[in-house]
Chain A
Amino acid sequence: MQESVMYLHGMVFLLGAAHTLRVNGHVRVDIFYRSFSPKKQAKVDLFGSLLLLMPVNIFIFMVSFDYVMRAWRVMETSQEAGGIPGVYLLKSLILLFSFTMLLQGIAEVIRNVVKLSLDKPLSKAENQ
């Protein structure tokens, strides 16, 4: 019961992060970004996704893979008495997190490439 809260909590942000990226809900320092033209914003997002987001998630996936597999091998259970015997599942969320983020990152790359390849200037509304 105690630990179910932790499982729910972990799911909220590890699985919600990719959706938040999709709806542009992650904080930016937008002093300059705000005044960029839509094309320039698309460039920042394209290169940010390629150089920052995708490497980080590939890295998190790779470095966590063994860690999670170790938990699976022993079917790791909670250290608390009466805890949920599913710590390996909880840890798997880390892989799922980096995987969904990577997918959304690829989607962002495609979206921004399309934006940049359009000839006509973009309006602010289309840029969302």
Chain B
Amino acid sequence: MEYISLLMFLAVCLVLLLGYPVAYSLAGTALIFAGVGAFFGVFDTSYLQAVPSRLFGIVSNQTLIAVPLFVFMGVMLEKSRVAEDLLLAMEQVLGRLKSGLAVSVVLVGMLLAASTGIVGATVVTMGLLSLPTMLKKGYSPSFACGAICATGTLGQIIPPSIALVLLGDVLSSAFVQAQLNMGIFSPRSVSVGDLFVGALVPGFLLVGMYLLYVLVFASRHITPSLEQSDQAPISVSALFAALFPPLLLIFMVLGSILAGFATPTEAAGVGATGALVLAIINKQLNLQKLKDVMMSTAKVTSMVFLILIGASIFSLVFRGFGGEELIQELFTRLPGGVFTAVLLVMVVIFLLGFILDFIEITFVVVPLVAPVLLAMGVDPIWLGIMIAVNLQTSFLTPPFGFALFYLRGVAPPEVKTSHIYRGVIPFIVIQLILLACLAIWPNLVTWLPYLL
């Protein structure tokens, strides 16, 4: 009977591929299975009685309130042209170097990741502003596209990131559940703040690896152009004016979390307010723009939370069919213990990343596997960061990689889709190398959080 849960998982994958919105594909298919199962007496409908309190749990979850606030902050920064100013200033500083443009793309990507953390906005901005310049300067299209897509996804891993908020929430309940199952009734907890701290070292490591790659290989991908650099050197005050606002915002948001003044939710409120103030100072705010920002915040938030609602109905039914026991059994039967279990999960998440994106994987897959892994003694912070780095590749893996779509949307027609696909391969490899490094040296993740 547990095998019905696997059957349901496969059925959901098939329904998803038809293209109906994810949230209802998940919940609807699960309900059909539950209905048929109840009819034949193999499904206990009392599992579904938990749905209303689950829904209310989503509404009253303090951690998740950070999501709309961070979305608001990111959209506001995007609309108030902070990113554009930053990119133009950096290009002028670094544009004289041969690989300067690519380096500036990586650095700006890092700053945007730490301030907005919205992958789509970062990729679109850089695709519109940097890609034409890079092509003009003789960069090969695939190299330029790869650099832009990959750095655009840094927002996933560099805190504050919405992905880490969602993961942190899922993991903290999984961690408590795992300890309760083991008979520990005063469980330790893991918070979104812990994940943020744990992501710092791996995040900067990834930026470093990107920079190294760009510096070493750029010369191979640039055909020198005859065009002389006609840019006037940028004044110090202009550079300062472009750099200061996002740096201040990063300092306020991250600083308040790291120093322990604020929870991530409170810091997100600070960030949202800060972005609003910056927009007013930059004279970019009017009523229409505020309305636009609030509308798109509401849409993105609804989209995320509807998937959460759909996924929680799915996982209740999955549990009702005994799917959890099945996974647990599978993992304990694996030869090689914890190592193979983690490896298996990582491979599955990587492969699912080709067709799903991080939200669905976080809400559907992680709650199923995390309690089992954590019960086997895996460190929750380390697991969270491993999953986050792994999920970052889901943005870059065709055919369903968000970063690729966004860039395709704004790239000039002479850039072929195959250029984009080919360009991201080295960066996916870099991410996998980072993943391997974190697996070999878990201290890279856990050192800082346990120090603080």
A residues with CB within 8 A of B: 5-6, 9-10, 12-14, 16-17, 19-21, 23, 25-34, 36, 41, 44-45, 48, 51-53, 55-56, 59-60, 63-64, 67-68, 90-91, 93-94
Given contacts A17-B306, A48-B25, A51-B28, A29 and B55 within 8 Å (CB-CB): no
* Residues from chain B with Cβ under 8 Å of A64 in the complex: 51-52, 55
Contact B59 A10 (CB under 8 A): yes
Given A20-B306, A26-B306, A63-B52, answer yes or no on A55-B31 (Cβ-Cβ < 8 Å): yes
Cβ of A7 to closest chain B Cβ, rounded Å: 9
Which residues of chain A are within 8 angstroms of B399 by Cβ–Cβ distance? Answer: 31
Most buried by A among B21, B23, B32, B313: B21
Q: Is B448 an interface residue (CB 8 A)?
A: no
The chain A residue sitting closest to B22, CB to CB, is A27
Is the CB–CB distance between B21 and A27 below 8 Å?
yes
Majority-rule SS of B interface residues: helix
* Residues B398-429 near A (CB distance < 8 A): 399-400
Distance of A30 Cα from B15 Cα, bound (Å): 11
CA distance A60 to B31 in the complex (A): 11
Q: Are A27 and B359 in contact (CB under 8 A)?
A: yes
Q: Determine if B298 and A52 form an interchain contact, defined as CB atoms under 8 angstroms apart.
A: no
Nearest chain B residue, comparing its CB with the CB of A29:
B16
Give me 9 other A-B pairs in contact (C-beta within 8 A), A5-B269, A20-B298 excluded.
A13-B301, A16-B298, A27-B21, A27-B357, A29-B25, A29-B356, A34-B19, A67-B56, A90-B56
Measured between alpha carbons, how far is A36 from B19 in the docked complex, in Å? Answer: 10
Which B residue's beta carbon lies closest to that of A20? B302
Judge if B182 is at the interface, Cβ distance under 8 Å.
no
Complex CA gap A91/B49 in Å reads 15
Q: A6-B59, A64-B55, A94-B52 are in contact. Are A28 and B65 (CB under 8 A)?
A: no
A5-B20 Cα distance, complex, nearest whole Å = 32
| Chain A: minimal CB distance from B406 (Å) | 14
A26-B22, A32-B18, A63-B49 known; A91 and B56 CB under 8 Å? yes
Rounded to whole Å, the gap between the CB of B186 and the closest CB of chain A is 21
Main secondary structure of the interface of A (DSSP, over half): helix
Q: Please determine whether A26 and B23 come into contact, CB atoms closer than 8 angstroms.
A: yes
B298 near A19 with CB under 8 A, answer yes
Q: Are B299 and A31 in contact (CB under 8 A)?
A: no
Measured CA separation A32–B400 after assembly (Å): 10
Interface string of B216-253 (1 = CB under 8 A from A): 00000000000000000000000000000000000000
Is B9 an interface position by the 8 A CB rule?
no
Residues of chain A lying within 8 A (CB to CB) of residue B302: 12-13, 16-17, 19-20, 25-26
Chain B 1-25 interface 0/1 with A at a Cβ cutoff of 8 Å (1 = within): 0000000000000011111111111
B156 CB–A CB distance under 8 Å: no
B163 to chain A, nearest CB (A): 14
Closest to A48 in B: B20
**A9 pairs with B68, CB closer than 8 A:** yes
Give complex CA distance A23, B62 in Å. Answer: 28
Q: Known contacts A12-B301, A23-B299; decide if A63 and B48 are in contact (CB<8 Å).
A: yes
Among B28, B357, B359, the residue within 8 A (CB) of A55 is B28
Residue contact A93 to B59, C-beta cutoff 8 Å = yes
Structural contact, A20 and B55, CB atoms closer than 8 A: no
A38 CB → nearest B CB, Å: 13
Most buried by A among B22, B301, B302: B302
Residues of B contacting A6 in the complex (Cβ-Cβ under 8 angstroms): 59-60, 62, 65
Interface string of B340-365 (1 = CB under 8 A from A): 00000000000000011101100000
- Does A31 lie within 8 Å of B400, measured CB to CB? yes
Q: List 25 A-B contacts (CB under 8 A).
A: A5-B65, A6-B60, A9-B65, A10-B59, A13-B304, A16-B301, A17-B305, A17-B306, A19-B298, A20-B299, A20-B303, A21-B21, A26-B22, A28-B19, A29-B25, A32-B17, A33-B19, A34-B19, A51-B28, A53-B24, A56-B31, A56-B313, A67-B56, A91-B52, A93-B59
| 8 A-B pairs with the lowest CB-CB distances in the bound complex, closest first | A33-B19, A52-B28, A48-B20, A26-B21, A67-B52, A13-B305, A10-B59, A16-B302
Q: Which residues of B contact A32 (CB under 8 A)?
A: 17-19
